[in-house]
Amino acid sequence: QVQLVQSGPEMRKPGASVKVSCKASGYTFTSGTIHWVRQAPGQSLEWLGWINTYNNNIKYSQKIQDRITIIRDTSASTAYMELNSLRSEDTAVYYCAREDILTGHAFDYWGQGTLVTVSS
């Protein structure tokens, strides 16, 4: 069965960086696109960016594009999201999600989420 398993919670000080991993299993990793979405406490969902795991194309949200990097390691079936120059407003649960052509490019599987807390 398809699974996306994310790394554990992180706590950082303002100005630091954080890197979250998303390990895929149960399907061919290079057949889909992985997205990153975050959810601040009590808020809605915010799309951050995607990576095409086949050709390594990437696209970032304009709001965060100067601070985010998304990469993938096909040998490990893992995608990574790194966020730099952290601020308190980056405190959120970060999710990875798979986009699948069979569901019309909606996000059919999600990781369990990684809580990133930014506090001095």
Partner 1 sequence: DIQMTQSPSTLSASVGDRVTITCRASQSISNWVAWYQQKPGKAPKLLIYKASSLQSGVPSRFSGSGSGTEFTLTISSLQPDDFATYYCQQYNVLYTFGQGTKLEI
Q: In sequence order, what are the residues at sequence separation of 6 or more whose Cβ sits closer than 8 angstroms to the Cβ of residue 65?
A: 49
Q: Which is nearer to partner 1, 16 or 20 (CB)?
A: 20
The helix/strand/coil state of 17 is coil
Q: In sequence order, what are the residues at sequence separation of 6 or more whose Cβ sits closer than 8 angstroms to the Cβ of residue 67?
A: 83, 84, 85
Q: Which strand (E) or helix (H) includes residue 33?
A: strand 33-39
Of the candidate residues 27, 67, 110, 117, the single one contacting partner 1 (CB under 8 A):
110
Q: Is 57 in the site for partner 1 (CB under 8 A)?
A: no
Q: How far is the CB of 39 from partner 1 (least distance, A)?
A: 9
Q: Which is nearer to partner 1, 35 or 72 (CB)?
A: 35
Q: Is 47 in the site for partner 1 (CB under 8 A)?
A: yes
Q: Which is nearer to partner 1, 82 or 108 (CB)?
A: 108
Alpha carbons 48 and 66: distance in angstroms, whole number: 11
Residue ranges binding partner 1 (CB under 8 A): 35, 37, 44-47, 59, 61, 95, 97, 103-108, 110-113
